[in-house]
Structure 1
Amino acid sequence: MTSDPILLETDGATATLTINRPETLNALDTATISAMNTALDRVEADPEIRVLIFTGAGRAFIAGGDIADLNSRRGLPHYEQFAEDIHKLFRRIETFDKPTIGAVNGFALGGGTELLLALDIRILSDKARLGLPEITLGLFPGAGGTQRIIRQLPLCRAKEIMYTGDMLTPDEAVSVGLANRVVPHDDLMQSTRETAAKIAHKSPLVLKLLKRTLVDGGDMPLSAALRHEQAMIGLVLDSADAHEGCTAFLEKRDANFTGR
């Protein structure tokens, strides 16, 4: 392993971003956040990359923030520095135009679960553990977790997770809706890459517009969201990919989506 806090590897249309601080269980700090933004810049600028996988080195996905660093902070400096940076990063990931998948290889606690809440698809190793244990430190989730989890889970389940700080097993995480599925640990990356490849064969333009429709619509009342969907599908029907997909269906062949 190198000393870089982030590793970015590409394999065809899929890129894999690995948080690479195994000695700290991949705890997030300012340098790691900066490196993640740099990696996102690279993925964003490369039209050949259609799907982005997030995973962690060693036995953790992300075990949270750097507790010693948090303990050294006070409110206003924290608000203006680390909290500002991590909120911007997670919102950038949440609204990223390319689909994102979490391959959760181990502990995803605190900031790890908060990152998962910003990802499109979440695949768990059977060794994974999820949770928001900040309450046990006299804190609460502060990287978007309080707001994303109450929008994705039933409110009573979200409150129980945050109030108790208990860890969830993979099966529990799937049952409450925090993740898509559990796979054997040794199959995690293969299973995740298979899902990424399936998505990568779809139109990157339509995926981008679909994701924008979902993200934007989630912040709107239903009446406005339906109007937004109506407008966005109109944009899709102006694309070559939409007509390529329909033509391929009628001609009983595989579609060749180019992103136009």
Structure 2
Amino acid sequence: MTDNTAILTTRDGAVGTITINRPDTLNALNIPTLLELERALTELEADDGVHVIVVTGAGERAFVAGGDIADLDSRQGLAHYLDFAEVIHRVFRRFETCDKPTVAAVNGWALGGGTELLLSLDVRIAAETAKFGLPEINLGLFPGAGGTQRILRQIPSCRARELVFTGDQFTAAEAVAWGLINRAVPKADLMAEAMATATKIAAKSPLILKMIKRTLRHGAEMPLGAALAYEQAMIGLVLDTEDSHEGCRAFLEKRKAAFTGR
């Protein structure tokens, strides 16, 4: 599949993997890298044979260690808003709204934009040695790629505010305890664990996974009453699919379901 300078994509069965491939810069994100990342996501989204997407970083040290600080220092407000910020917000939102489940395999530092990318992905597995943080305050900045908004919605408000105010780094064990990641595993086992999780999800109906993701995403942005009504409508649509009835019949017949995505 795609083999570009900054982004690599591969496929193993129904699992596509995106690797951010700038290990010499700790996989820092700049505009060319973000645009390649967006193209890789578009390619895997369009591939009907890919049901789940894994995202990881190249090298031993970093998942994504943030943005290019020298580049940020060269920017002024309006140009930044219309240029880099526009691109990174769009790309991270694309991952967040992707109809295919995503799995993060955090192999090392996930700082600044690395943590912000993580916040846009569905299932998160990290090496026990991984480190996280939103250190922008130490540069006289604050997280500007969705970090302030997503972290408030994913962990307790007081914890989120402390992390953003102090810029302190935190460990994989702490991230698990706060519910920010699913689990931490020995680094040597990271990709095997991420692929096993992705493969398990990929065995489900891709159509129902798509509808679940939409239900979760849109429902989270609604008041509870509206979200429950939306869920009620979506489960009705699910019962119009072939896969829902195949799953029920397979259960009754004590066999493995053969999902087709219809």
Residue 135 (structure 1) aligned with residue 137 (structure 2): yes
| CA-to-aligned-CA distance 1:75-115 (integer Å, 9 cap, x gap) | 00000000001101111100100000000000000000001
Alignment match, 1:240: 242
Equivalent in 80, 83, 86 of residue 88 of structure 2:
86
- CA distance in structure 2 between the partners assigned to 1:122 and 1:55 by the alignment: 10
- Structure 2 matches for 1:30-109, cutoff 5 A? 30-58=31-59, 59-109=61-111
Distance change (3 Å), C-alpha of 1:3 and 1:242? closer
TM-superposed CA distance for 1:126, in Å, is: 1.2
Residue 207 (structure 1) aligned with residue 209 (structure 2): yes
- CA distance in structure 1 between the partners assigned to 2:46 and 2:172 by the alignment: 34
Q: Matched residue of 2:110: which SS?
A: strand
Whichever residue aligns with residue 141 of structure 1, its letter is P
Alignment match, 2:148: 146
Alignment match, 1:183: 185
Q: Matched residue of 2:199: which SS?
A: helix
In percent, how many aligned pairs have the same letter? 64
TM-superposed CA distance for 1:17, in Å, is: 0.2
Structure 2 alignment gaps of length 5 or more: none
TM-superposed CA distance for 1:63, in Å, is: 0.2
Distance change (3 Å), C-alpha of 1:251 and 1:48? same
- CA distance in structure 1 between the partners assigned to 2:167 and 2:21 by the alignment: 25
Alignment match, 1:14: 15
Q: Matched residue of 1:168: which SS?
A: strand
TM-superposed CA distance for 1:3, in Å, is: 6.5
Q: Matched residue of 1:36: which SS?
A: helix
TM-superposed CA distance for 1:237, in Å, is: 0.4
- CA distance in structure 2 between the partners assigned to 1:239 and 1:196 by the alignment: 23
- CA distance in structure 2 between the partners assigned to 1:45 and 1:163 by the alignment: 40
TM-superposed CA distance for 1:246, in Å, is: 0.2
Structure 1 alignment gaps of length 5 or more: none
Whichever residue aligns with residue 98 of structure 2, its letter is F
Equivalent in 172, 193, 204 of residue 195 of structure 2:
193
- CA distance in structure 1 between the partners assigned to 2:81 and 2:29 by the alignment: 16
Q: Matched residue of 1:17: which SS?
A: strand
- CA distance in structure 2 between the partners assigned to 1:246 and 1:212 by the alignment: 22
Moved over 3 A (4+): none
CA RMSD of superposed structures (Å): 0.8
Alignment match, 1:220: 222
Q: Matched residue of 1:152: which SS?
A: coil
* TM-score normalised to structure 1 length: 0.98
* TM-score normalised to structure 2 length: 0.98
Whichever residue aligns with residue 82 of structure 1, its letter is F
Q: Matched residue of 2:70: which SS?
A: helix
Distance change (3 Å), C-alpha of 1:129 and 1:240? same
- CA distance in structure 2 between the partners assigned to 1:160 and 1:227 by the alignment: 35
Alignment match, 1:171: 173
TM-superposed CA distance for 1:24, in Å, is: 0.5
